[in-house]
């Protein structure tokens, strides 16, 4: 049984390990292990996770069973787009996927931003399981980018959006 709760600084090493596990399982075949090593070291460093945790206009959640953290989600209000929340991260341990953990984290994140009207995310076009998950949860493709994440990553992504229910 997993409980979705707000992450704390004490969770960050377990979150970092979870991100490594899910990234290698998902992206090694797409980007190759060397690129995954580079992205994981940069995007999922303890310092990067602490900065996300400290962001006042965000929500950082974990799925915790008392022993392990097998899911995490992070969303933040967009600085560029009004009334838009960006779903930056939603990951579940490969051994616990399809058990409802991602759904539960996502459902909680949807309620955390009362001023948001749209949730937006970027997903790799080759990550079919994630695309299927997002479509099943009401997202539609609205565009593409050649630079997923921050700056000039050179990583292509599909952009998906979903209207949020009025609160």
- Would you list the domain boundaries of the chain? 3-163
Tokens 């997923």 -> residue: 148
Give per-residue pLDDT as tens, 10-38. 999 999 999 999 989 988 888 888 888 88
Say if residue 167's pLDDT is above 60. no
Give per-residue pLDDT as tens, 150-163. 666 677 889 999 99
Tokens 């991602």 -> residue: 102
**Quick one: 10 exposed, middle or buried, by C-beta within 10 A (0-12, 13-18, 19+)?**
exposed
Question: Hey, what are 6's tokens?
Answer: 């707000």
- Please, which residues bridge with residue 162 across strands? 119
Q: Residue 59 phi/psi, 5° resolution?
A: -135, 130
Do the Cβ atoms of 140 and 103 come closer than 8 Å? no
C-alpha closest to that of 58 among 44, 41, 40, 72? 72
- In terms of DSSP bridges, do strands 69-77 and 118-123 run parallel, antiparallel, or are they unpaired? unpaired
Residue 115, number of CB atoms within 10 A of its CB: 12
Tell me, which fold does domain 3-163 have in CATH? Aminopeptidase (3.40.630)
- Please, which residues bridge with residue 90 across strands? 73
Give per-residue pLDDT as tens, 94-142. 999 999 999 999 999 999 999 999 999 999 899 999 999 999 999 999 9
| Secondary structure (3-state) at 160 | strand
Q: What is the pLDDT of residue 104?
A: 95
Do the Cβ atoms of 131 and 93 come closer than 8 Å? no
């Amino acid at each position: 049984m997993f409980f979705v709760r707000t992450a704390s600084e004490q969770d960050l090493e377990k979150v970092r390990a979870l991100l490594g596990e899910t990234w290698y399982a998902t992206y090694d075949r797409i980007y190759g292990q060397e690129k995954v090593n580079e992205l994981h070291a940069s995007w999922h460093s303890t310092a990067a996770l602490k900065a996300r945790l400290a962001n006042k206009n965000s929500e950082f959640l974990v799925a915790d069973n008392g022993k392990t953290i097998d899911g995490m989600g992070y969303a933040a209000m967009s600085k560029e787009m009004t009334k838009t929340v960006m779903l930056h991260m939603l990951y579940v341990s490969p051994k616990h996927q399809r058990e409802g953990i991602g759904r539960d984290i996502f459902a909680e994140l949807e309620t955390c931003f009362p001023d948001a009207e749209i949730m937006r995310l970027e997903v790799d076009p080759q990550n079919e399981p994630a695309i299927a998950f997002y479509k099943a949860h009401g997202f539609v493709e609205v565009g593409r980018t050649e630079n997923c994440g921050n700056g000039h990553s050179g990583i292509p992504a599909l952009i998906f959006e979903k209207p949020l229910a009025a609160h």
